[in-house]
């Protein structure tokens, strides 16, 4: 346990409340939309980093987890709205419904994560990557065929509850849990599995449990992000959660550095902004350069700086020594391999 | 019953194109233990090179078997160069890097080909010129044989036999098998490993290019993202047959082709795209070595 509850999390939470109350309404709706997407991407990237970066299990199906969370979360709120309109329309109770929906999304997704995590007992490396890719696609095909959630037409008329406060509240929860987790014995076991699975097993780490937990937790937060996304966009279709979406999240993780949470946060924000910055170019030329640039970044990064921007370091590692104690930084940087 | 045989014929035809692509995956995996994600996109480029060649030489104005052959050869040559370039500039600098980096690069190359393809060729589907238009179908015992399917199948099988000959009967093939067995030992025996790895990519890309033209001939709508699904499915087929094993890749592809055709005919057509993944996952869980493969235990 920390020596003192890190004041920085409380401060960050107060900042989120302050922004929600005083700043967000004065901003251009377009800017707000970008900020909200950035927050959702932060959750997605840091949760994928837990699987890919910390536990070292290269997963390529994160969009699938996001889809499970998005659909199940949306179904929960819509069921409430249609069956218990009294509760749903009561302003004091609606947030609880929403929290329940987001947790339902997270839990359904975590269940999917366990199902995908189980094959990791036998697979590693490239095979695992393809199988997770396959799981993501299977989820998409199943959603495409489920008429109860709209099938190919998609799910429409989802209540739009997600706001700045909700997204960044969950961003903080997600980051808090992940940073704490990485410093815990369980998180250390993730790192040991990444560095050398056989050695980890030899010293008594339950590698199976570590890998499945990593998948379940990563999927849980991806599901939350999906549920937030669903209640912001208000329409869902299986086509949103295709391979390309998974790749986008992977690029965030790789660019930021596999094994660096602050790297994922920076990369998620950066890529969300870049995407919007490239939009005028796209309108002029009529073609989408975004994915070409993404893919070039990926290749050049692997050829020149394969550990990403931050490697396995955190932003707090760059602070002066006397600040570290104040922020409660106890993190031991894992071996730079 | 006739209907069933009809599906078998269609399945074999589909399987033969999967086989051409799967061979590239399995050979590259054999020598580098790398899933070349860009392989499906080389297949796509084959179709586009074929299309541009056909238009440039005005081959579609006089459809004939010779025109088809010219298109095919142009696509194969173009893809050979692309395969060489991909290996030389994306994979070779990472020869000693961790495998995950190579994997990410492969994904990057794949995305790059797909989306720069969208910019260069345009995102909307293009019509592949009819370089060969056989007249009428052949009927054998009530089963309709489209001459295109027959030609497809014949060319595929011929190319596979040529590959079999190259790999098992020539000095180059022996070198290739040596490299796939052990890089370091092979180079100690005086085998130029880098050149052999290039050759592997070139051979695989040639087959993928041919598959591109053959598929485009039967399904003449081609677009820059057309390689994703066949690529992943062919990979599934290669794993099903035992990755790294050439005969296995062919067998796996035919099984997958038949299974897809039958699920479309008798089961749930909308689940067609999920079938390959289900097979892939089941095989990896139950028998990771595939049908023909030998399981190699991972050593410390």
- The answer, yes or no, to whether residue A276 has pLDDT greater than 60, is yes
- Residue B296 main-chain phi, psi, to 5 deg: -105, 120
Q: And the tokens for B131?
A: 């370089």
Residue B80 and residue B76: Cα distance in Å, rounded?
6
Residue A235: domain span: 9-242
**Averaged over B202-227, what is the pLDDT?**
91
Residues in chain A: 337
Contact residues, B window 57-96, toward A, CB-based 8 Å cutoff? 90, 93-94
Q: Containing H/E element for B221?
A: strand B221-222
Which residues does residue B139 pair with via DSSP β-bridges, in sequence order? B144
Query: Domain tally for chain A?
Result: 1
Least confident of A277-291, B111-125, B197-211: A277-291
Q: Look at A299 and B118 and tell me if their CB atoms are within 8 Å.
A: no
Contact status of B101 with chain A (Cβ, < 8 Å): yes
DSSP string, A285-331: HSS--HHHHHHHHHHHHHHH-TTTTTTT--GGGGS-HHHHHHTT--P
Q: Domain extents for chain B?
A: 2-226
pLDDT score at A3:
47
Is residue A184 included in any domain, yes or no? Answer: yes
- The answer, yes or no, to whether residue A335 has pLDDT greater than 70, is no
Q: Look at A122 and B288 and tell me if their CB atoms are within 8 Å.
A: yes
| Averaged confidence pLDDT in chain A | 86
Least confident of A234-238, A277-281, B96-100, B267-271: B267-271
Q: Look at B281 and A119 and tell me if their CB atoms are within 8 Å.
A: yes
Q: Look at A287 and B119 and tell me if their CB atoms are within 8 Å.
A: yes
> pLDDT for B165-185, tens place per residue?
998 899 999 998 898 888 889
Cβ atoms of A52 and A256 closer than 8 Å: no
- The answer, yes or no, to whether residue A11 has pLDDT greater than 50, is yes
Is residue A223 included in any domain, yes or no? Answer: yes
Cβ atoms of A123 and B288 closer than 8 Å: yes
Residue B292 and residue B253: Cα distance in Å, rounded?
13
Residue A134 and residue A73: Cα distance in Å, rounded?
23
pLDDT score at B299:
41
> pLDDT for B54-82, tens place per residue?
999 888 787 888 888 999 999 999 999 99
Task: Specify the higher pLDDT residue, A218 or B281.
Answer: A218
DSSP string, A17-62: HHIIIIIGGGS-HHHHHHHHHHHHHHHHHHHHHIIIIIS------H
pLDDT score at A175:
93
- Residue B145 main-chain phi, psi, to 5 deg: -110, 115
- The answer, yes or no, to whether residue A336 has pLDDT greater than 50, is no
- The answer, yes or no, to whether residue B296 has pLDDT greater than 80, is no
Helices (H) and strands (E) in chain A, counts: 15, 0
End-to-end CA gap in chain A: 28
pLDDT score at A331:
53
- The answer, yes or no, to whether residue B273 has pLDDT greater than 90, is no
Residue A302 and residue B153: Cα distance in Å, rounded?
40
pLDDT confidence band for A5 (50 / 70 / 90): low
Q: Hey, how many other C-beta atoms are within 10 angstroms of the C-beta on A154?
A: 15
Cβ atoms of A278 and A293 closer than 8 Å: yes
Cβ atoms of B288 and A127 closer than 8 Å: yes
Residue given tokens 């005005």 in the structure block: B58
A137 to chain B, closest Cα gap in Å: 7
Contact residues, B window 194-213, toward A, CB-based 8 Å cutoff? none
* Interface predicted TM-score of the whole assembly (ipTM), two decimals: 0.79
pLDDT confidence band for B46 (50 / 70 / 90): very high
Q: Hey, how many other C-beta atoms are within 10 angstroms of the C-beta on B221?
A: 11
Residues 6+ apart with CB under 8 A from B267: none
Residue A253 and residue B192: Cα distance in Å, rounded?
37
For chain A, give percent helix, strand, coil, nearest 5: 75, 0, 25
pLDDT score at A35:
93
Is residue A34 included in any domain, yes or no? Answer: yes
Residue A211 and residue A186: Cα distance in Å, rounded?
10
- The answer, yes or no, to whether residue A166 has pLDDT greater than 90, is yes
Q: Look at A126 and B99 and tell me if their CB atoms are within 8 Å.
A: yes
Nearest to B112 by CA among B235, B225, B209: B225
Residue given tokens 């690029």 in the structure block: A251
**Averaged over B250-263, what is the pLDDT?**
91
pLDDT score at A112:
92
Which residues does residue B222 pair with via DSSP β-bridges, in sequence order? B126
The number of CA neighbours under 13 Å toward the Cβ of A287 is: 16
End-to-end CA gap in chain B: 54
CA distances from A194 to A57, A133, A211, B16, B102 (A): 7, 20, 10, 39, 17
Residue B24 and residue B202: Cα distance in Å, rounded?
9
pLDDT score at B31:
85
Residue B223 and residue B122: Cα distance in Å, rounded?
8
pLDDT score at A1:
40
Q: And the tokens for A108?
A: 């359904």
Cβ atoms of A37 and A162 closer than 8 Å: no
User: Is the CA virtual torsion B38, B43, B47, B52 positive or negative?
Assistant: positive
> pLDDT for A185-233, tens place per residue?
999 999 999 888 889 989 999 988 899 999 999 999 999 999 999 999 9
Residues in chain B: 300
> pLDDT for B2-44, tens place per residue?
788 888 888 888 899 899 999 988 888 888 888 888 999 999 9
The beta strand positions in A96-155, using DSSP E, are none
Of all residues in chain A, what percent carry a pLDDT higher than 90?
Answer: 38
Nearest to A195 by CA among A331, A337, A65: A337
pLDDT confidence band for B198 (50 / 70 / 90): very high
Distance of CA A241 to the CA centre of its chain: 14
Nearest to A101 by CA among A222, A223, A4: A223
**Averaged over B202-217, what is the pLDDT?**
93
Write down the H helix ranges in chain B: 2-32, 39-56, 65-86, 99-121, 147-169, 171-181, 183-188, 193-218, 228-241, 246-266, 272-286
B133 to chain A, closest Cα gap in Å: 34
B125 burial (CB, 10 Å; 0-12 / 13-18 / 19+) is: middle
Task: Specify the higher pLDDT residue, A293 or B142.
Answer: A293
> pLDDT for A131-163, tens place per residue?
888 888 889 888 988 888 888 888 888 988 888
pLDDT confidence band for B102 (50 / 70 / 90): confident
pLDDT score at B95:
86
Q: And the tokens for B111?
A: 């995305």
- The answer, yes or no, to whether residue A102 has pLDDT greater than 90, is yes
Residues of A with CB under 8 A from a CB of B: 56, 58, 60, 119, 122-127, 129-131, 133-135, 137-138, 141-142, 144-145, 198, 243, 247, 250, 254, 258, 287-289, 291-292, 294-299, 302-303, 306
pLDDT score at A229:
95
Q: How many CB pairs under 8 A join A and B?
A: 118
Residue B55 and residue B75: Cα distance in Å, rounded?
13
Which residues does residue B265 pair with via DSSP β-bridges, in sequence order? none
Contacts of A243 in chain B (CB under 8 A): 228
Q: And the tokens for A23?
A: 């700043």
pLDDT score at B150:
85
Task: Specify the higher pLDDT residue, A282 or B294.
Answer: A282
Contacts of A292 in chain B (CB under 8 A): 112, 115-116, 119
Q: Give the pairing of strands B126-127 and B221-222.
A: antiparallel
pLDDT confidence band for A100 (50 / 70 / 90): very high
pLDDT score at A326:
60
């Amino acid at each position: 346990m920390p020596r003192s509850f890190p004041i920085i999390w409380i401060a960050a939470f107060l900042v989120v409340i302050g922004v929600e109350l005083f700043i967000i309404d004065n901003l251009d709706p377009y800017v707000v939309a970008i900020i909200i997407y950035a927050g959702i991407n932060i959750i997605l990237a840091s949760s994928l980093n837990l699987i890919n970066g910390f536990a070292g299990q290269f997963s390529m199906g994160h969009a699938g987890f996001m889809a499970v969370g998005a659909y199940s979360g949306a179904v929960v709120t819509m069921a409430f709205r249609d069956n218990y309109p009294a509760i749903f329309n009561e302003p004091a109770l609606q947030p609880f419904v929403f929290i329940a929906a987001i947790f339902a999304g997270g839990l359904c997704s975590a269940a999917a994560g366990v199902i995908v995590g189980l094959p990791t007992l036998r697979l590693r490396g490239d095979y695992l990557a393809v199988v997770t890719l396959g799981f993501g696609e299977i989820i998409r095909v199943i959603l495409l065929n489920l008429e109860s959630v709209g099938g190919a037409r998609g799910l429409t008329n989802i209540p739009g509850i997600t706001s700045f406060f909700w997204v960044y509240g969950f961003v903080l929860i997600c980051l808090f849990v992940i940073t704490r987790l990485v410093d815990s014995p369980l998180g250390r076991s993730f790192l040991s599995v990444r560095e050398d699975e056989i050695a980890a097993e030899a010293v008594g780490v339950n590698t199976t449990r570590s890998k499945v937990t990593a998948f379940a937790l990563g999927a849980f937060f991806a599901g939350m992000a999906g549920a937030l996304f669903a209640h912001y966009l208000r329409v869902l279709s299986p086509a949103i959660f295709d391979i390309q979406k998974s790749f986008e999240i992977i690029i965030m993780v790789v660019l930021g550095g596999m094994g660096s949470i602050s790297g994922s946060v920076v990369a998620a924000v950066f890529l969300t902004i870049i995407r919007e910055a490239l939009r005028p170019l796209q309108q002029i030329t009529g073609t989408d350069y975004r994915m070409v640039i993404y893919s070039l970044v990926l290749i050049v990064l692997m050829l020149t700086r394969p550990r990403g921007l931050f490697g396995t370091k955190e932003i707090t590692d760059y602070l002066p020594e006397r600040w570290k104690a104040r922020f409660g930084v106890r993190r031991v940087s894992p071996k730079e391999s | 019953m006739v209907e069933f045989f009809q599906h078998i014929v269609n399945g074999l035809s589909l399987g033969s194109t999967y086989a051409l692509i799967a061979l590239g995956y399995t050979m590259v995996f054999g020598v580098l233990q790398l899933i070349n994600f860009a392989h499906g996109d080389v297949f796509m480029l084959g179709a586009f090179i074929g299309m541009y060649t056909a238009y440039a030489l005005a081959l579609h104005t006089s459809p004939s078997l010779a025109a088809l052959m010219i298109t095919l050869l142009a696509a194969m040559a173009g893809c050979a160069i692309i395969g060489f370039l991909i290996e030389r500039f994306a994979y070779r600098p990472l020869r000693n890097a961790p495998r995950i980096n190579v994997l990410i690069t492969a994904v990057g190359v794949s995305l790059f080909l797909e989306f720069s393809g969208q910019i260069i060729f345009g995102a909307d589907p293009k019509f592949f010129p009819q370089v060969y238009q056989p007249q009428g179908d052949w009927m054998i015992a009530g089963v309709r044989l489209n001459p295109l399917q027959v030609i497809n199948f014949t060319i595929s099988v011929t190319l596979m036999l040529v590959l079999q000959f190259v790999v098992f009967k020539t000095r180059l093939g022996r070198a290739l098998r040596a490299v796939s067995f052990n890089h370091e030992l092979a180079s100690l025996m005086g085998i130029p490993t880098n050149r052999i790895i290039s050759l592997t990519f070139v051979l695989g890309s040639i087959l993928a290019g041919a598959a591109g033209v053959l598929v485009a001939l039967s399904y003449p709508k081609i677009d820059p993202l057309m390689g994703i699904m066949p690529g992943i499915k062919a990979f599934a087929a290669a794993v099903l047959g035992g990755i790294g094993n050439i005969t296995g890749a062919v067998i796996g592809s035919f099984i997958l082709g038949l299974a897809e055709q039958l699920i479309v005919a008798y089961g749930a057509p909308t689940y067609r795209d999920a079938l390959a993944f289900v097979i892939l996952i089941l095989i990896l869980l139950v028998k990771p070595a595939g049908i023909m493969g030998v399981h190699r235990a991972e050593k410390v």
